[in-house]
């Protein structure tokens, strides 16, 4: 046995759940990470302050976010296999450290007036934390919830959408505390206030993410929830009971077809999301339904709620109708919605809001359904690593979507003078992109057996054998840990069982999330004033 194998075995044994462990501790552990790294979508709160402090252009400051998202995709792809080998705790700890250090180095850059340090800190180091943190709980959730993988991944990944709803009002409050003139100075705070904000957020996120790492556990070899019959998976189309390695998955048409489907879904959604505030104003410019800048900001908050809600709701629905059918809803439904938006979206504000709300819910749902789709196609063996590589579609779409929309609008006129008709060419382009994704999804079939990993290799690495989703006994309770094929439930026994009731863990992540939802809902009501 190699040194690497020994280290991997030790790392996983140390976090193997003991008898009686409640699997409902795992979603809040995942949420503790995703709610923190979701702050990446709240950078607009202090963007103007950084522009003023560094005397830089919008593009120069916007590069910070772009670097972070690119690093998210790259680090998720590069470190995905490492996350699967050594387990979620080590990955969560590394993610927490990188994310916090990113804030601290960024704060140093703000304090010294060195913009490159903010690029390096928040963008580079923090971006690595984003990628590792995003994928760290995915494969673990799927293994704990073989009966409801869509619900489990939806619970966690909705946190990435919810993180911005917490960070936005929290950041505004902190900036006001550090700079009393912030609220009356057109939302521009001093560099000192933003520096203190970075230090405060870095410290908070470090503690919360380490809490998630502390309570996370992996199931013992052979564990399954009571009443779960792995053989039932064989009756579901596309759901494999075998396993495929990350490297082999890249050689299958299924991976690339799903990559295209996700890319198209994200490209269409992010194009609207990036342009949301000016878009609703332009659609109703010079009309009786004119929308103010304040109401437009409330609309952005409403879309955040739909983004988060879609990640949980649609991913959970996919457990019943299947992942391929769910993507059919996202893509075919998106085609209809974009056509509706292009030709009737300017009729009333209510129609515009309803259509865009569903579009963005599909955007979020695509992210949350993807890990379960991968599990169906490739098994659980290295699903985290495969997911990390799939996320390069997000990085590509994050560039393509805004480029398409902004490129079209640049040819139609100056910002502040556009109308609904000016958006029609961009929206119709999105329809075409969604049709491409729809075709890719329809072409997905079960993975050929030649790509399946050797069952003995899988069993030696994970304790999971081929021929069943989770082999071995089913345990003695709904969340119990049973002995599997190895005959050993856990190597560490009670030492691997945290003394945290699930209700406490849910309160720790649920209260901040509820705060963000309430604040966002209050701002969204301004749309109807």
Residue-wise pLDDT for 32-46, tens only, equals: 999 999 998 888 788
Confidence of residue 14 (pLDDT cuts 50, 70, 90): confident
Sign of the four-CA dihedral 116, 206, 111, 297: positive
Closest CA to 192 of 206, 204, 205, 175: 175
Residue 341 tokens, joined: 């938006």
Could you tell me how many helices (H) and strands (E) the chain has, helices first?
A: 21, 0
Q: Which residue has the higher pLDDT, 271 or 510?
A: 510
pLDDT of residue 47: 86
pLDDT greater than 80 at residue 213: yes
Instruction: Give the residue-averaged pLDDT of 284-311.
Output: 80
Closest CA to 46 of 176, 180, 163, 165: 176
- 3-state DSSP call for residue 478? coil
Q: Which residue has the higher pLDDT, 202 or 6?
A: 202
pLDDT of residue 24: 93
First to last CA, the chain: 68
Please state, for a pLDDT cut of 70, what percent of the chain lies above it: 88
User: Helices marked H in 113-189 — which ranges?
Assistant: 115-118, 126-135, 138-144, 149-178
pLDDT greater than 70 at residue 156: yes
pLDDT greater than 90 at residue 8: no
Q: Which of 146-160, 233-247, 321-335 is most confident?
A: 321-335
Instruction: Give the residue-averaged pLDDT of 100-117.
Output: 97
Confidence of residue 293 (pLDDT cuts 50, 70, 90): low
* Mean pLDDT lowest among 62-76, 121-135, 241-255, 448-462: 448-462
Torsion angle, alpha carbons of 433, 437, 438, 442, to 10: 160
Instruction: Give the residue-averaged pLDDT of 170-175.
Output: 90
pLDDT of residue 256: 98
218 has which bridge partners?
16
The structure tokens 């590792």 sit at 132
pLDDT greater than 90 at residue 59: no
Q: What mean pLDDT, rounded, does the chain reach?
A: 85
pLDDT of residue 7: 61
Do 317 and 148 form a contact (C-beta atoms < 8 A)? no
pTM given for the model: 0.84
pLDDT of residue 479: 45
Residue 75 burial (CB count, 10 A)? 24
Longest CA span, the chain: 74
Q: Which residue has the higher pLDDT, 3 or 405?
A: 405
Q: Which residue has the higher pLDDT, 2 or 397?
A: 397
Exposed e or buried b for every residue in 386-398, given b needs 16+ CB within 10 A?
Answer: bbbbbbbbbbbbb
Closest CA to 433 of 363, 345, 527: 363
pLDDT of residue 33: 97
pLDDT of residue 222: 80
* Mean pLDDT lowest among 24-28, 144-148, 477-481: 477-481
Sign of the four-CA dihedral 88, 94, 95, 100: positive
Torsion angle, alpha carbons of 273, 63, 264, 233, to 10: -90
The CA–CA distances, whole Å, from 188 to 51, 107, 269 equal 9, 17, 29
Closest CA to 357 of 269, 421, 261, 266: 269
Confidence of residue 470 (pLDDT cuts 50, 70, 90): very low
Measured distance CA(58)–CA(443) in Å, rounded: 42
pLDDT of residue 463: 55
CA 356 to chain centre: 20
- One DSSP character per residue, 387-444 reads HHHHTHHHHHHHHHHHHHHHHHHHTT--TTS--HHHHHHHHHHHHHHHHHHHHHHHT-
């Amino acid at each position: 046995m190699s040194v690497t194998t020994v280290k991997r075995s030790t790392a996983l044994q140390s976090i193997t759940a003991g008898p009686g462990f409640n699997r409902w501790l795992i979603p809040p552990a995942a949420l503790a990470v995703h709610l923190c790294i979701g702050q990446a979508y709240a950078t607009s709160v202090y963007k103007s302050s950084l522009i003023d402090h560094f005397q830089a252009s919008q593009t120069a400051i916007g590069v910070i976010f772009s670097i972070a998202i690119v690093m998210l995709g790259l680090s998720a792809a590069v470190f995905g296999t490492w996350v699967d080998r050594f387990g979620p705790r080590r990955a969560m700890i590394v993610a927490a450290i990188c994310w916090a250090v990113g804030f601290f180095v960024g704060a140093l850059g703000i304090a010294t007036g060195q913009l490159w340090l903010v690029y390096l800190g928040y963008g580079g180091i923090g971006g690595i934390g984003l990628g590792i943190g995003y994928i760290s709980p995915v494969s673990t959730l799927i293994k704990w919830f073989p009966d409801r993988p869509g619900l489990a991944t939806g619970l966690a990944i909705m946190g990435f959408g919810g993180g911005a709803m917490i960070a936005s009002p929290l950041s505004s409050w902190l900036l006001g505390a550090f700079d009393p003139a912030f609220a009356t100075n057109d939302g521009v705070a001093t560099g000192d206030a933003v520096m203190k904000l970075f230090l405060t957020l870095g410290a908070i996120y470090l503690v919360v993410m380490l809490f998630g790492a502390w309570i996370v556990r992996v199931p013992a070899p052979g564990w399954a929830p009571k009443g779960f019959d792995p053989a039932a998976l064989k009756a579901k189309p596309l759901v494999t009971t075998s396993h495929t390695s990350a490297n082999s998955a890249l050689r299958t048409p299924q991976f690339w077809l799903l990559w295209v489907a996700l890319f198209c879904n994200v490209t269409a959604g992010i194009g609207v999301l990036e342009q949301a505030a000016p878009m609703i104003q332009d659609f109703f410019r010079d009309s009786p339904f004119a929308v103010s800048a304040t109401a437009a900001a409330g609309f952005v908050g409403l879309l955040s709620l739909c983004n988060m809600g879609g990640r949980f709701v649609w991913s959970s629905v996919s457990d019943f109708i299947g992942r391929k059918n769910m993507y059919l809803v996202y893509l075919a439904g998106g085609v209809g919605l974009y056509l509706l938006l292009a030709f009737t979206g300017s009729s009333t504000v209510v129609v515009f809001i309803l259509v865009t709300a569903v579009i963005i819910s599909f955007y979020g749902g695509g992210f949350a359904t993807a890990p379960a789709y991968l599990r169906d196609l490739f098994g659980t063996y290295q699903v985290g690593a495969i997911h990390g590589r799939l996320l390069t579609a997000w990085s590509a779409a994050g560039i393509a979507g805004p480029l398409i929309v902004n490129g079209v609008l640049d040819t139609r006129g100056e910002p502040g003078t556009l109308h609904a008709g000016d958006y029609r060419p961009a929206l119709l382009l999105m329809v075409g992109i969604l049709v491409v994704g729809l075709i890719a999804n329809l072409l997905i079939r079960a993975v050929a057996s030649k790509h399946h990993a050797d069952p003995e290799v899988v069993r030696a690495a994970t304790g999971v054998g081929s021929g069943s989703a989770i082999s071995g006994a089913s345990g003695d309770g709904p969340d119990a840990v049973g002995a599997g094929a190895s005959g050993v439930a856990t190597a560490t026994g009670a030492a691997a069982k945290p003394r945290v009731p699930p209700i406490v863990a849910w309160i720790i992540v649920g209260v901040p999330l509820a705060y963000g939802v309430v604040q966002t809902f209050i701002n969204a009501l301004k749309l109807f004033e």
